[in-house]
Amino acid sequence: MNRSFYNGISGVKTHQFGMDVWSNNIANINSIGYKYKNPEFSTIFAQQLDYQVNNPTSDDVGLGGVGMATTSVMNMGVLQSSDGKYDMAISGKGMFGVQDSSGKYFYTRDGAFNRDRNGNLVDHLGNFVLGQSANNISNGIITDNSVGDIKLTGTDTKTKIVLPQKLTLPAQRTTYVKMKGNLDSTPKYSFNEKGEKIEVPNIEIYRSEVINSKGDKDILEIKFTKHVPQGKKNIIWNAKATIKDKNGKILSTKDGTLTFDTRGAFLSNTLNSIDNDGKDIKLQLGTRYDANIKNSGWDGLISYSNSKVAGKEIQKDGYVSGNLEDYSIDSLGNIQAKFDNGRTVPIYKVMVFNFQNEEGLSQASPIYYKKTANSGDAILLKDKYGNVLNQNISTRHLEMSNVDMSTAMTELIVMQKAFDASSKSITTSDQMIQNAINMKK
């Protein structure tokens, strides 16, 4: 009977442990990035009673139960929108990495981040968020504006994310201008001094801003004048390109001729470029028609008799210099520097770390984890060719706790009932001993 006392006591202790775990889950139901715990139990090694030699049945008597450990359930929680510009949530597996002031690394699903006064991207405890730099900044100036999505290479490139307070994007000169549209070839007529009806040239003008080598804005103007009279086989337009500065001063000019067939398809062009402050701007006015090449002759300027064709379209590169205006984050974790000239350039990418065994991580706080021998080292997921897979990040969102209230309350009731039953076994054992004592009276 004494054994039943201690079995009851172990049951009380064990289920108190379970109640502690589940009540802690409930207490953290609104903690950002919290992952709930499962209490795990085990029986205490049984005592073997051998009263007979070669007894075919078991005579083992259990010695109670004990709380063994807690395991983290890493299922994804619900994403909730937030107003934080730097708030992020991971869709799928993985964890953000942070580094404290002493250099220790921790991992978390809590993406409530912000910038400190030095421009560091930090969490609410001041730990530095880890990512990979595009290495395109020198002395506050963007040195490479061609960066698209920053390609992660490995965990050895991880570093603190520092977002400068001031950044400058140097101007880039215009190297090409591409024009698309219809030079309407519908004949136009007028009357001369003798009252005779004569055809007059059609005129079309295309204008675009261009950036010179000094980073200043100039104006490119191309005036197209239809050749009169036209030939029977082709449609010919004379072209005059002019570049003027902001005050209207002519900087350079160049003439050329464009030829189209009778259907309006582009055939040839002698105006292929124009000088802009010592550097040529390529004028891409169309691709010569070739029956064997799809869309050739119709991908730039065309010329046929129809004034209702869609309007002019001009594409170009180049831009004036810009100063940092703000930062933004895209769905791949690229942190983009936004400039007041309308351009954006990625400068960092937030890293999402994975582990071979997430459940093997050691919990350093309710939302922070450390690697262990059981979890393995932090890694980046890669495809079969060794390329790091794209990560999916929801910006201006936070991942809430994955605790399910109905499940937690049910488990708490189970623990309570088991606790009550264990305590009842102690009371019953006491009554049995009391009866045994009373038998002597």
Q: Of the ranges 36-45, 90-99, 143-152, which is most confident?
A: 90-99
* Residue 415, CA distances (Å) to 18, 399, 408, 411 in order: 6, 28, 11, 6
Measured from the Cβ of residue 384, the count of other Cβ atoms closer than 10 Å reads 5
pTM assigned to the model: 0.76
The mean pLDDT value for 154-172 works out to: 95
Residues in the chain: 441
pLDDT reported for residue 304: 86
pLDDT reported for residue 55: 55
pLDDT reported for residue 20: 85
pLDDT reported for residue 440: 64
pLDDT reported for residue 98: 97
pLDDT reported for residue 18: 82
Q: What is the pLDDT of residues 258-284, one digit of tens each?
A: 999 988 999 999 999 999 988 999 999
Q: Are strands 217-226 and 203-211 parallel, antiparallel or unpaired?
A: antiparallel
DSSP 243-273: EE-TT--EEEEEEEEEEEETT--EEEES--E
List beta partners, residue 128: 99, 122
